[in-house]
Amino acid sequence: MERMTLLAGTANPVLAAALARELGVELGGCEVRRFPDGEVDVRLTASVRRREVFVVQPTCPPVNDHLVELLAVADACRRSAAARVVAVVPYYGYARSDKRHGRREPITASLVAGLMEAAGIDHVLTVDLHTTQIEGFFRVPVDTLSAVPVLCEALRDRVPADAVVVAPDAGRVALATEYADLLDRPLVVLHKRRESGTETRVTHIVGEVRGRACVLVDDMISTGGTIVESVGALRDAGARPDFTVVATHGLLLRDAAARLAAAGVGTLVVTDTVPPAPSPPPGLHVVSVAPILADFIRRTAAETRDAG
């Protein structure tokens, strides 16, 4: 650890501080200011020459601001002769733009990967990418950690014995299967049909939910629309009004927490990959990913030391 430096942007200072405690190090000197016109100004206040630098900066909302800040910190490290720059990006913004739905659209997740490499980032560490194909957009190493085991540990005493694990759509079946296996609960899958460019409808449910509690899983909760729709379909199918929602990235935008509570979600379990809400809603439980990030950083730092 003597050859590494841990820096933090402004996106998630709580997680950065928790990670520093887990590693037993002090956060390195990094000042981030903004000019009146919104431009970011970054300054390193301590030397990073020949050091392995880990920059903690999820690209959560406001995504563009935090992304440019990450690029600026990485560029400052590169120009200051850092040996290697590892971007610790627990939440990867633009992950849903991983393919084109029309001929005249960008693949922004790939664009962001190119920007990170151009800024001098040598390695990316993230948590539960929206799709694993994003790793292929990079030419530098990418390591994706899973928060599912720590989330399942937090859920174990909260999930009734008769509960089922629910995948809200076909795209989350693999994720829901992992939860179902670790929790030893049956798996239920909701199938949907797209009604318009912005609306979907649950057409049928694969699995038995009548009279049972439901644990709905996803990798992220943004506005909560998908979960609210799913809860409504499960209610109509006779599920017991005992709904738990678990997701790695709890963005909770546009009063999402209130919408989930109004739909009947009593327990919401997320991680701290993004900053927690200023006024946490009732039933919200936040699980820290700092221990799994710290474990990876220790092993990476040790491998670099041994190789050197």
State the 10-residue block means of pLDDT for the chain, 308 residues long. 90 97 96 95 96 97 97 98 98 94 90 98 97 95 97 94 95 95 97 65 91 97 92 96 96 91 95 87 93 95 68
Query: What is the model's pLDDT at position 164?
Result: 98
Query: What is the model's pLDDT at position 52?
Result: 96
Q: 34 has which bridge partners?
A: 40
Query: What is the model's pLDDT at position 3?
Result: 86
CATH code of 148-287, in short, is 3.40.50.2020
CA dist., res. 273 & res. 59, Å (int): 10
Q: Which residues are catalytic?
A: 192
| Domain assignments of the chain as residue spans, ordered by start | 4-146+290-307, 148-287
Q: What is the largest CA-CA distance in the chain?
A: 62
Domain range 4-146+290-307, CATH architecture: 3-Layer(aba) Sandwich (3.40)
Query: What is the model's pLDDT at position 194?
Result: 62
pTM of the model: 0.94
One fold for 4-146+290-307 and 148-287: yes
Q: CA torsion angle for 59, 65, 69, 75 (degrees, to 10)?
A: 100
Query: What is the model's pLDDT at position 197?
Result: 47
